[in-house]
Amino acid sequence: MELDFLQGIFKKVYGRWERVPNDQNYYVKISFAIISAILCGVGGRFFAGIRGLMFGLLIYVVTLFILVYLVEVDVNALGGRQKLITSALPSYLLLWVLVWTLLYAFTL
């Protein structure tokens, strides 16, 4: 029941890119990079250092599960599991670090 509700939300938000799985992959990861960076930045000193890094990587892993189980992206259309993991990783990392650094600098 709850999974169907979450699936409906994610399909509504990211459903417009359903015909292009690479775009869905990119937009899901980028939106979660922004969300995790905001949480790390607002968290201030609690997320400074290794805690923030671990939190950001944990959110990245969560996005992989969201893509496969909630958005139901066809992994074979992306090029397999390895492409699922690595395709938007640089964009995720750069955006996450940039937003986190800016928010951290302005909150202290």
Tell me if 87 is assigned to some domain: yes
Is 14 inside a domain boundary? no
pLDDT digits (tens, 9 = 90+) for 61-82: 999 999 998 888 889 988 899 9
Q: For residue 5, is it within any domain?
A: no
If one compares 106 and 34, the residue with the highest pLDDT of the two is: 34
**Is residue 7 a part of any domain in this protein?**
no
Question: Residue 77: inside a domain, yes or no?
Answer: yes
Total domains in the fold of the chain: 1
| Ramachandran category for residue 105: left, alpha or beta (phi over 0 → left; psi -120 to 50 → alpha) | alpha
Please write the tens of the pLDDT for every residue from 2-57.
778 888 888 888 877 778 888 889 999 999 999 999 999 888 888 888 998 999 99
Residue with tokens 């699922």: 84
Range of the domain at 25: 21-107
